[in-house]
Amino acid sequence: SSDSNVSEPLPVAETFTFESDDAPLSKVARLDTMVTLLDAVNFGADLDSMDYLEDRDWAPKEEDERNVSQLLIDQLEFADVVIINKIDLADEPSVGRIEALVHRLNPHAKVLRSTKGDVPLESILNTGLFSMEEAARAPGWLKELRGEHVPETEEYAVTSFVLRSHRPFHPARLNALMDSKLFSAGAVAASKSVAGAPGAHAEGEAEEAEEAAAAAASSEGLSEATKAVMRGEAGYIVRSKGIAWVASGEGGMTYRGDWSHSGRLVGLEPAGRWWAAIPKENWPEGMTPYGWVDEEGVGDRQTEIVVIGMGMDKERVEAALRTCIVTDEEFAAGPAAWAEWEDPIWGDVDWEEHAAEQDGEEDEEEHGHDDCGHDHHSHDCGEEGCDECEEDGHSEGEEDDAEAEA
């Protein structure tokens, strides 16, 4: 592991695979084990934090836009061994909730408990556990998306489902839900340490409850049942990841959304073009886009999001998410009507600038249609990195965008 608490694990791992004219690192060293150390007392609060690295003076360089929550998830999901430290300062239910969530987010990781970081050396040295291929395939959300069974932890109510739809999200309704208490790691945080001192999350619970109530009260077009979910009455979504179709006029018809969320930070960024927005003569020969539907105005436009929660009533939470999808009448109105809607998600996107960025990136890719390295500028994602599309399942027979290391 790195000596910096702000290191991103994938770049560290890739350092061992770079070829160079000089002796590559892999000739003199090997990456044996990726270890992540979690603070049992502050894990929930950090996962729920809205802080950026620069807010905590953790940013190694200026203009570092990463946030604490996403970096924590990156380190957790990429680890071979996760050590839950300071268990002497946290109560057993809190440690149990953290352990259950870790198992769900990273099913292949070995999970240890420790006090003052004391673990057997043989559990982290010369284990031979690290594999770049396995690390890329490891995140629990990716296994869920591929349809692999990941056992749910009933004792601590860690559950999941995949939201799929070939209709777009209504931006205003979705924004209200995204800003609610539903998206939170509140269920993970300890309310008290064993010494009786309030945890960091507990101190802000009253303020968060007020914010959630205000968001619910201002959510026009949402049912009372959905507003109850927004107040956290059906549990919490701790982690979600996937792609989304947003009814954002022609921009939403052309570009898919990359959805990445951890704790309270929900990222929904415009990324690469839908294949349906590209003339078929420009498609790779013999390619069938992932999830293609022969329906006018649809094609491969879709939403597919893995949702992982704690204490979550899956039926109620999925129903709340589906109320944010356009109705049949709204869908029939079409992109011209959608462009007139209030759009707090992508309303400020400069689509010409985004198209230029995408075209420039495509020119650099040998496959001619890959959107790695897209810019993040809405809803606080701050996440970078791409992997093989087959891991993320966004198209068949062609590479696409998949942030498998997140």
- Give pLDDT tens digits for 224-268: 999 999 999 999 999 999 999 999 999 999 999 999 999 899 999
* pLDDT tens-digit readout, 174-202: 999 999 999 988 777 544 444 443 444 44
Decide which of 73 and 364 is more confident. 73
List the structure tokens of 379.
């809803």
Q: What is the pTM of this model?
A: 0.76
Q: Does domain 158-392 have CATH number 3.30.1220.10?
A: yes
CA-based nearest residue to 370, from 272, 239, 276, 250: 272
Q: What is the pLDDT of residue 387?
A: 40
pLDDT at 283 over 80: yes
Give percent of the chain above pLDDT 90.
50
Least confident of 58-72, 127-141, 153-167, 182-196: 182-196
Question: Which residues are CB-neighbours of 326 under 8 A, at least 6 positions away?
Answer: 167, 168, 169, 170, 247
* Superfamily classification of domain 9-138: P-loop containing nucleotide triphosphate hydrolases (3.40.50.300)
Decide which of 22 and 213 is more confident. 22
Distance CA 234, CA 226 (A): 10
Distance CA 288, CA 275 (A): 9
pLDDT at 401 over 50: no
pLDDT at 399 over 70: no
Q: What is the pLDDT of residue 193?
A: 44
pLDDT at 49 over 90: no
Q: What is the pLDDT of residue 231?
A: 93
pLDDT at 342 over 60: yes
Q: What is the pLDDT of residue 295?
A: 96
pLDDT at 389 over 50: no
Distance CA 107, CA 312 (A): 19
Q: What is the pLDDT of residue 52?
A: 82
Q: What is the pLDDT of residue 220?
A: 64
CA-based nearest residue to 65, from 76, 74, 55: 55
For 44, list phi and psi in degrees, rounded to 5. -60, -40
Q: What is the DSSP letter of 311?
A: S
Q: What is the pLDDT of residue 5?
A: 52
- Give the residue extent of every domain in the chain: 9-138, 158-392
Instruction: Work out the mean pLDDT of the chain and round it to a whole number.
Output: 79
Q: What is the pLDDT of residue 212?
A: 52
Q: What is the pLDDT of residue 133?
A: 74
pLDDT at 371 over 50: no
pLDDT at 377 over 50: no
Most confident residue range from 89-103, 147-161, 191-205, 266-280: 266-280
pLDDT at 151 over 70: no
Return the bridge partners of 260, or none.
241, 267
